[in-house]
Structure 1
Amino acid sequence: MNTQPQERRSHLRFDKIFTVYLSTQDGMMRGIGRNISARGMFIEVRDSLGLGEKLKVTFAGEDGTEMTCLCEVRYQVALAFGRKDGRPGNSRGVGLRIVAYETMDDAPLLLVDRERVMH
């Protein structure tokens, strides 16, 4: 009997720590990207974001290049844990679905996945 959990994700995931900038209706904040795939990502954030909220996420490369995508908040995670030194620790994050990528400032967004319309 196999006791390992089965991976249900269909897209390859890039598991690396990287800085991102989130633009919301309330302003801009910095986050830490932990995991990204073609359709979504997990970002550690300091403040909570509302489920379903739309925001822009900008990745900045070391060479000064930037890429921005439009995302939707799909879920929130809040963890409380004990550190090795005995002090309490906590972490908060959001799971985002990538809706579209910005190609240029004066060009429309490149849609990633169009939702089906039921008549």
Structure 2
Amino acid sequence: MQERRSATRIDKVFRVLISTDEFGDQGYVARNISATGMFVEMAEPLPLNTKVIVRFTLPNDDAAICALARVQNHYYVHYNDRDELRGLTGVGVRFLRFVPEAGAPIPRDRMH
């Protein structure tokens, strides 16, 4: 099967802070990041097309890298773990743009 993704993916697990107007700030586990998006584990996936701010915190640093993104897909993954069936839910987010003022509050007019 041929890979459809054009961007190289990094399969690392890391913490992100996702902010939305409707749901506030919440910490999640993200993985499988590329230049265009990533997968975020969520027990209760955000609605499709929800605009979010993703903050990637840097260890031992107050700085953060921020991106504006949109929820593109919902995923429900089932897998075996030592002969036990497990499940994982989450969302695929697509990066819209990165915010140059890393860690700074996002002005309202830049959310749209």
TM-score interval for Structure 1 and Structure 2 normalised by the shorter chain: 0.7 to 0.9
Count of aligned pairs: 104
Question: Aligned partner of 1:28: which letter?
Answer: D
CA contact (8 A) 1:33 1:41 kept: yes
- Whether 1:57 and 2:51 are equivalent positions in the alignment is no
Q: Which runs of 5+ in 2 are unaligned?
A: 108-112
Deviation at 1:8, TM superposition (A): 1.5
The C-alpha deviation readout for 1:14-48, integer Å capped at 9, x for no partner, is 11011111112211211111111111111111221
Q: Report the TM-score when normalising by structure 2.
A: 0.80
Whole-Å Cα distance in 2 between the matches of residues 106 and 79 of structure 1?
Answer: 34
Partner of 1:74: 72
Larger Rg: 1
Give the equivalent residue in structure 1 for 2:27. 30
Aligned position for 1:103: 100
Structure 1 residues 107, 19: closer, same or farther in 2, change over 3 A? closer
- Which residue does the alignment assign to 2:37? 40
* Structure 1 equivalent of residue 110 of structure 2: none
- 1:84 paired residue number: 82
Query: What percent of counterpart residues are identical?
Result: 34
- Matched residues in 2 for 1:53 and 1:84: separation? 36
Q: TM-score when scaled to structure 1?
A: 0.75
Q: Which runs of 5+ in 1 are unaligned?
A: 109-119
Cα-Cα RMSD: 2.2
Q: Which runs of 4+ in 1 moved over 4 A?
A: 80-83
Give the Cα–Cα distance (whole angstroms) in 1 for the partners of residues 11 and 86 of structure 2.
Answer: 22
